[in-house]
Amino acid sequence: MSESQKQSATQDTPPKKIVVITTGGTIACTAGRDGALLPTVAGADLLAPVAARFDAADVSFDVRELNRLDSSSMTFADIDEIRRAVEEALADPEVTGVVVTHGTDSMEETAVALDTFHTDDRPVVLTGAQHPHDHPDADGPLNLLDAINVVTSPTARGIGVLIVFGRAVLPARGAVKWHTSDELAFATNAPEEPTRADPVPAVDLADVVVHIIHAYPGAPRDLVDSARAAGADGLVIEAMGSGNIGTGLAAGVGDALRDGVPVVISTRVPRGEVCGSYGGAGGGATLNSLGAVGSTYFRSGQARVLLAIALASGRHPATLF
């Protein structure tokens, strides 16, 4: 191709259009006088230094500041709002993809929700930071740059929602925050190419109540009974080992299942899948025979979101795991 042909090819290709939705998190935090971190940085200010690294003829940006939240305070209503913002962004056919900046504490929950509803081939990538914006080693700008590079890459199309963080690119399904401070904040417990369930038509989660109960040895059934009394529509049990719980809790779980309350069994073990192998009152095989659903490779946070989506959309929970 001659120089003039190359030039006219560049001129004919419109810039890739990236929507950046900002929601808060450490990436947007600065330290106050007492040293405590709060999300204070506007979306436009987060993006500006990173956007400056791209040629405007190649990539254009539209930043939408949705919120300035610590993600540990997010509710299902906040996830609904982020989902709607992503849908709105992708309603524009000229948009190449979407980056969502988000706190790390509950990024895995938002990511799996967006992925479960995602019907579009265009990529959605979540990113954030472990160090705040005003830290000398702030990792947010590089994470945001990597997220934008992934979103503009044709290889990111058709593979669902991703977390790009600490130089790693992870599918949303199975991702877990695994380090409280390391720049490689996320790991995955999923198989190499996790199968995605058929996307679920968008539905709000704000009114769904799913509680997670930690099944420590000797945990009493009262934990299940009080969750039900508090209005739980479904329960996730963070079991021991491959998915086993003690006798007391098992009695409460059995009653919940008999009364039609769906129960998903996850585990407190970081790696491997849940499998119902054991008999006895709280063994995984017994819980399965009563109708509990194993969370496969998902851990409790994402299992809770998937169960909520199943409840809100009228699907059997097993179809989403």
143 is an interface residue for ligand ASP by CB under 6 A:
no
| Residue 103 Cβ vs ligand ASP, minimum distance, rounded to whole Å | 2
Place of tokens 């190449």: 96
67 or 267: CB nearest ligand ASP: 67
The 10 Å Cβ neighbour count of residue 269 is 16
Shortest Å distance, C-beta 132 to ligand ASP: 9
CA atoms of 84 and 203, how far apart (whole Å): 10
HSE, side-chain direction, 13 A CA sphere, residue 152: 19
Q: Could you say which of 26, 96, 116, 188 is catalytic?
A: 26
Looking at 104, 152, 189, 295, which residue binds ligand ASP (CB under 6 A)?
104
Q: Strand 59-69 vs strand 16-24: parallel, antiparallel, or unpaired?
A: parallel
Q: Residue 70 or 204: which CB sits closer to ligand ASP?
A: 70
| 96 vs 130 by CB, closer to ligand ASP | 130
Q: Using CB positions, name the residue nearest to ligand ASP.
A: 103
Nearer to ligand ASP, 71 or 188 (CB): 71
152 touching ligand ASP, by CB under 6 A? no
CA angle 311, 288, 211 (to 5 degrees): 40
# chain residues binding ligand ASP, by CB under 6 A: 11
DSSP collapsed to 3 states, 254-301: HHHHHCCCCEEEEECCCCCCCCCCCCCCCCHHHHHHCCCEECCCCCHH
Which CB atom, from 83 or from 102, has the smaller least distance to ligand ASP?
A: 102
Out of 43, 103, 262, 317, the only residue in the binding site for ligand ASP (CB under 6 A) is 103
Residue 22 lies near ligand ASP (rule: CB under 6 A): no
Nearest Cα residue to 148 out of 168, 164, 130, 172: 164
Residue of 130, 143, 266, 267 interacting with ligand ASP (CB under 6 A): 130
Shortest distance in whole angstroms from residue 199 CB to ligand ASP? 26
Residue 108 sits in the site that holds ligand ASP (CB under 6 A): no
Distances (CA, A) of 154 to 54, 96, 122: 17, 9, 9
List residues forming the annotated binding site: 71, 104-105
Structural contact between residues 257 and 292, judged by C-beta atoms closer than 8 angstroms: yes
What are the structure tokens assigned to 57, written together?
A: 């003829």
CB of 249 to ligand ASP, least distance (A): 29
Closest CA to 300 of 176, 208, 169, 204: 176
294 binds ligand ASP, rule: CB under 6 A: no
Q: Which stretch binds ligand ASP (CB under 6 A): 76-84, 97-105, 208-216, 276-284?
A: 97-105
Q: Residue 241 carries which side chain, given as an amino acid letter?
A: G
**Is 26 noted as a catalytic residue in this protein?**
yes
Q: Which residues are annotated as a binding site for substrate?
A: 71, 104-105
Enumerate residues 58-87 that contact ligand ASP by CB under 6 A: 70-72
Residue 181, CA distances (Å) to 7, 50, 70, 131, 241 in order: 46, 23, 16, 8, 26
Tell me which residues touch ligand ASP (CB under 6 A): 24-26, 70-72, 103-105, 128, 130
The residues assigned a catalytic role are 26
